[in-house]
Chain A
């Protein structure tokens, strides 16, 4: 039973990370590419870590929730990475896809 649960979590997690990576390749401009890695990947990693929690809890017979720490650190750091990337992209005046709305909202620095 637990094996099924762990497998389902691993597959779901892997699927989200895969979709995030597909987004990275498929999207037309830099700003849209950022959306995949900042979101899909966080949930994917969280699912993989929950699978690890369940596996080690069952294997050792004691409740093991250490991996939640990794999820928390990921949740804290993922937006920062995204923020640094998009800030430097704006600074370098990278081209956004044609038809991007609200380009005049970007102020000069």
Chain B
């Protein structure tokens, strides 16, 4: 895990790339002028906002991150079809439930990404991260965190926890090396 980037003038390399791409997409052009302006903005904006943010782990495995994005996109498509069928089927057959997934991740950014992934994929919405920071004594860092998830149709609790840990959490641990 690394909290700070290699070069001081480029505090968050991935965000700079993202800003550059967003700028080009917003202007819908790849002319030289926009390439230069986009590059300047992509370097200047992260530098200006760097003092405001708390340091979060950086993406150390960009290749794996790209692969994970496509896996999640595919899961979103299947999730939509699956949930669509469940909505149209008789409501009585659904077995809703809350489950608690123990997390291996420690930092806010990876946990946020995991919670968002869980919300977008089959029949699950993330609800809460335990323990709630405000309920802890000041300055204490929780050793084990849990993610509370609401499931639309709960079949096998342990199998679902294993799927989430293997399919979404393990790659995140690998990407952020934490």
Interface residues of A (CB under 8 A from B): 16, 19-20, 22-23, 26-29, 31-32, 34-36, 38-40, 42-44, 64-66, 68-69, 75-76, 78-80, 82-83, 86-87, 90, 96-97, 99-103, 105-107, 109
Contact = CB atoms under 8 A, between A and B. Distances in A.
Contacts of B150: 31, 34, 86
Given A31-B96, A40-B80, A101 B154 contact: yes
B25 A66 contact: yes
Contacts of B96: 29, 31-32, 96-97, 99-101
A28 B131 CA distance: 29
Contact of B25 (A20, A65, A83): A65
Overall SS of chain A's interface: helix
Interface of B: 22, 25-26, 28, 76-77, 79-80, 83-84, 87-88, 91, 94-100, 115-116, 119-120, 123, 125-128, 130-132, 134-135, 148, 150, 152, 154, 157
B99 A42 contact: no
Contact of A82 (B22, B87, B125, B154): B125
25 contacts: A16-B80, A16-B84, A19-B84, A19-B87, A27-B91, A28-B91, A29-B96, A35-B83, A39-B76, A39-B79, A39-B80, A39-B83, A65-B25, A66-B25, A69-B26, A76-B116, A78-B120, A79-B119, A82-B125, A83-B126, A86-B126, A86-B128, A96-B96, A106-B148, A107-B131
